[in-house]
Every structure is written in C-alpha cells, then in structure tokens.
C-alpha cells in the first residue's frame, strides 16, 4: 500500500448539461438543488425528471446548506478497489447529510476529528476547491 508511485489525482465530478447548474452554483459558494414544480419534492442527485412523480418540471432552487448527519463512516484503510488518490486523507469521514429542507446528499464531514462525528450532528456546508474551477460542497460541524 505504501509503495512510492506517482501522485494519483482524485476523481473530479463529470459535469453534464443536467449537473452543470449545481457545479456553477457551487463555484460561487452556493448550494442549489432541483425541486419539482408539480409535487414540490426535492430531487438529488440532479436528473431529468422528478424521481417521485416523473414530472419534467424541475427547477433549481437554493437550499440553506444546513443539515444533520444521517449516516457516516470513517475510512481508515484502503480496502479492495479503493482509489489511492485518497490515501493521504486517511482517516476521513464520508457521510449522508439530511438537509433541513429534506433532501439527502452524499458528502464528507470536514473540520471535525474522526472521533467526534455522530449521527444527528448539526452541520453546514463549506466549499472546497477541487481543481479545474470545481468546488465540492462538504459539511463542517456547526459550533
């Protein structure tokens, strides 16, 4: 695992016409999500039609960026098919965050010691530059 090799980059998100508004907003430090204009469901991740009712009337809307940790894990070892680009971050926290508006988003909990993270912890969004002008929404504890 520790053998020396060239730096391996982390994967960047693929930006598609459907996801572009999300990443454009993130680059200006704003969190937006699709919302169905028919059934009012929030939709994540971005897609062409509402996952609840099938309506194509999805519109982008801002969300507060505040939420709670629904589930998390601490990744302490590279196992199986893990990407080596993350080895230097170990241990790190990956989580599902329930936003206060309702939708659930996958992200990391950052600025938090791994022994401090708990389910139900209040968090808020921060934006981390990932390269090529892409900013990733991540979540830090609300103190």
- Which residues would be at the binding site for other proteins (CB under 8 A)? 5, 8, 10-14, 16, 19, 41, 44-45, 47, 51-52, 70-77, 79-86, 89, 92, 94-96, 98, 103-108, 119, 130, 136, 138
Residue 28 CB partners (closer than 8 Å, separation 6+)? none
Distance CA 59, CA 57 (A): 7
Taking the complex as a whole, the smallest distance from the CB of residue 61 to other proteins amounts, in Å, to 17
Token pair, residue 136, equals 């990733």
Taking the complex as a whole, the smallest distance from the CB of residue 126 to other proteins amounts, in Å, to 13
CA distances from 12 to 40, 123, 129, 133 (A): 30, 23, 11, 11
Taking the complex as a whole, the smallest distance from the CB of residue 2 to other proteins amounts, in Å, to 12
10 or 29: CB nearest other proteins = 10
């Amino acid at each position: 695992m520790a053998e020396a090799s060239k730096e391996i980059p982390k994967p960047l998100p693929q930006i598609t016409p459907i996801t572009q508004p999300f990443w454009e907003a993130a680059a200006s430090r704003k969190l937006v999500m699709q919302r169905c204009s028919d059934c009012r469901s929030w939709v994540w991740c971005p897609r062409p039609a509402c996952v609840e009712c099938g309506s194509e009337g999805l519109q982008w809307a801002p969300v507060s960026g505040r939420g709670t940790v629904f589930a998390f894990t601490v990744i302490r070892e590279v196992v199986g098919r893990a990407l080596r680009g993350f080895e230097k971050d170990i241990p790190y926290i990956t989580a599902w965050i329930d936003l206060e508006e309702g939708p659930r988003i996958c992200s990391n909990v950052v600025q938090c010691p791994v022994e401090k993270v708990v389910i139900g912890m209040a968090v808020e969004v921060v934006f981390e530059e990932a390269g090529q002008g892409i900013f990733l929404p991540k979540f830090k504890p609300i103190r």
